[in-house]
């Protein structure tokens, strides 16, 4: 998983208070914010090999005032983690384009092949 809001989203909860945020981001925004407790009860526990890669950037974070701690500008690092995940990796990346980073793609392939992320360089 790449920067997933596995524990809902503080940003969605805060911006969901405003009509423009709800209109622009639609139903998923509500699911990750105010409706998260309901959605969370429908999700099964992790009982498979799961790796999570999260970002701790970018430098410019327009939503920083709505977030706490380390984040990728959209999802807080603590929100990406989930019980029973097999491995976790933090990379210097923002949320939107984390999937385009060559190092992230290499790490994903490594996880698929070995069940863990590479800790080399």
* Residue range 20-52, pLDDT digits in tens: 877 877 887 778 887 888 888 888 789 999 999
Question: Which runs of consecutive H residues, i.e. helices, occur in 1-121?
Answer: 10-15, 19-32, 36-42, 77-80, 102-114
Q: What is the CA radius of gyration of the chain?
A: 15
pLDDT in tens, 50-104: 999 999 987 777 887 889 989 999 999 999 999 999 999 999 999 999 999 999 9
Give the start-to-end residue ranges of the domains of the chain: 10-114
| DSSP at 8 | B
Give the DSSP H/E element, type plus range, for residue 88. strand 87-91
């Amino acid at each position: 998983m790449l920067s997933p809001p596995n524990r809902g989203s503080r940003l969605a909860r805060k911006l969901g208070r405003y009509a423009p945020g709800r209109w622009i981001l639609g139903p998923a925004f509500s699911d990750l914010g105010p409706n998260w407790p309901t959605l969370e009860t429908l999700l099964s526990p992790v009982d498979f090999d799961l790796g999570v890669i999260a970002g701790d950037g970018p430098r410019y974070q327009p939503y920083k005032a709505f977030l706490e701690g380390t984040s990728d500008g959209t999802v807080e690092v603590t929100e990406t983690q989930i019980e029973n995940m097999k491995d976790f990796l933090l990379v210097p990346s923002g949320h939107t384009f984390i999937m385009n980073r060559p190092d992230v793609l290499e790490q994903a392939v490594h996880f698929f092949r070995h069940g863990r992320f590479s800790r080399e360089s």
